Amino acid sequence: MKPILESGAFELAAQIKSGQRTSLEIVEAHIQSIKIWNPVINAVVEDCFSAAFREARAADARLREAKEKNLVLDLPPLFGVPFTIKEMVSVQGLKHTLGSVHRRAVVSQHDATVTKRLKDAGAILLGTTNVPELGFWFECANEIYGRTNNPFDPSRTSGGSTGGEAALIGAGASPFGIGSDIGGSIRMPAAFCGIFGHKPSGRLVPMTGHYPLYQGDAERWRGEKYPLTVLGPLARKAADLYPLMQILMGPDGVDQEIRANFKLKPRVTDWSGQTVWVMPSPRLQGVSRVSTELSESARNAARYFEAMGATLKEMRADVFEDAVAIWFASIAKNKDRSFTDVLGDGSPIDYKREMLKLALFKGDYTLPALGASLLETVSRRFEKNLKDSHEASLEKAKDLKQRMNNLLGENAVLVLPVHPRVAPKHNTPILRPFDFALTGIFNALELPGTSVPMGLNDQGLPLAVQVIGADGQDHLTISAAEVLESAFGGWQKPELKS
C-alpha cells in the first residue's frame, strides 16, 4: 500500500472498509502532519482534532458492527476519511471570520450545505483553513491569522483566496478540501501548491453557508456575486475530483440558483474522438506575458492528448484579450452590496488614517483590501461614465460565452496556463494585480475548469495548466486531469523547509 499521506481520499475510504487501515490511524497521521507543517505554512486557523479523534474511533466501531451484520457495502463513500475546509465556508461551532477584524468573534451557527454533505458522506473534519481578508486577493493573508506560506517555498505565496486549503493539501497534510472560486480562487492556489483543483460550471454546487449566503438570509443575498462564485473540491489525487463533485452537487432547497437534475456524464478514457485546443501564451490586456516554462507546460499537455489520438488545434492568443474588463463588469452586475460596506462593517473607512496605520504595522485591513475599497469608491464617482463600458463588456461576455460553448461542445477542451508565473514571492502580486484574469475570465463565462499539476521547474516549484470545458462538461475537464496525472506524475510531496 501507498503511505497514508500519499493516498487519495477514496483510496483511504476503501482501505478503511476493507480493514487494511483504521480511520483512527489515518486521522492521526494527518493530524500529526498538520502539527509538523502548520508552524511553517500557517494553513490551519482553527482545528477540531479532539472531535476528529472521537469521530474516528466511532467510525472504527461502526465498521466492526457493519462487518458483523454484513453491511459494509452500506457505509458512506468517504467513511472515516479526514478533510479540511476553507474558513469562508460555515462549520457549526467554529469561527467564521473571513479574515476580517470586524468578524473576529463570529461563530457559525449552521453547517454549510457542502460541509453537511461531506459529513453525511462519512468524512471527518480536521479544521478550517486560512483566507485573504474577506476572500479578496490572490495572496492569503489577513490581520487575524497572518500569512499562509507555500509548502514548496515558504518565501512564496500559496495563492488565494483558497490559499490555506491548497497549502495544506499541497503539504500532504490533508487528502482533500473545499474551496470557492470567484476569479481563480481554487485554480490559482492549486497551481501554486502543486495539487488538483476543480472550478465547477456555474449553478451546480449550492453556495448555502458560504459568505454571505446563509440559511434564513439567502433570499436577501440572491444574486450577490452570482454566478461567478462557485464552490469546488481540491485534492492531491485527480481521481477524487469526480466522486467529490457527485457528493457536492444538487439542489438543497435554499440556494434557488442550483440546477435541478444535473448529473455528471461518465468519465472519458478514449480521447481519439476528442478535440484539444491549446493556448500556450494568452495575450490579455493588463495581464503579464506568460513565462516560457508555463507556455511549454500547456504545449506538453496538449501534445500528450494528441499522442492519445485527440485532434490538436491552437487557439488564437487574443481570444480573451478583454478578460479584465469582462470580469469587472460581471462583478459589478452581480454585486448587491459594496465591498467597502462589507470591509468597514457598515462604517466609513478613513483611507488616510488606515494607510498610516498600515505603514506603522498597526492596520486593521490588508493593503490589497484597502486598495480595492479605494478603487471602488473612486469608481462610484464615474459610475455613469463606466455604465456604457460595462454594458459593452457584458455584451462581449455574452458573445464569448456562446462562442466558447459552441466551439468546445461535448467533445473538446481548452488547455492553457493557470497564471503567467509559478508561485510568486510574497507581496509581489500587487505589482501585477490583473494577472488573475487568466482564470477569472472563465468565472465570467461560467465554464468549468480544472487546475492540473505538471511537474516541478528547476527551482522545485510546481508547474500547472488549466483545462477548460463547455458549460456542464465538468466530466471532460476532470477526465483530462486524470490523464495528465498519469502522464506527468501529478502531485509531488514537498520537503519540509523552515
- List active site positions: 86, 161, 185
CA distances from 202 to 83, 197, 470, 476 (A): 24, 15, 11, 15
What is the bridge-based pairing of β-strands 124-129 and 196-199?
Answer: unpaired
H-type helices in 193-282, by residue range?
A: 218-221, 241-248
8 A C-beta contact, residue 140 and residue 164? yes
On the CB side of 332, CA atoms within 13 Å amount to: 22
Closest CA to 187 of 458, 460, 419: 419
CA distances from 150 to 109, 171, 184, 190 (A): 31, 9, 17, 11
Buried-exposed string 432-451: b where 16+ CB fall within 10 A, e elsewhere: bbbbbbbbbbbbbbbbbbbb
- Other Cβ atoms within 10 Å of 222 Cβ, number: 13
Fill in the amino acid letter for 326.
Answer: I
Who's near 261: CB < 8 A, 6+ residues apart?
none
Residue 172: strand, helix, or coil: coil
Closest CA to 451 of 411, 418, 494: 418
CA distances from 324 to 211, 286, 330, 450 (A): 24, 7, 10, 20
- Whether residue 227 is preceded by a cis peptide bond, meaning omega within 30 degrees of 0, is yes
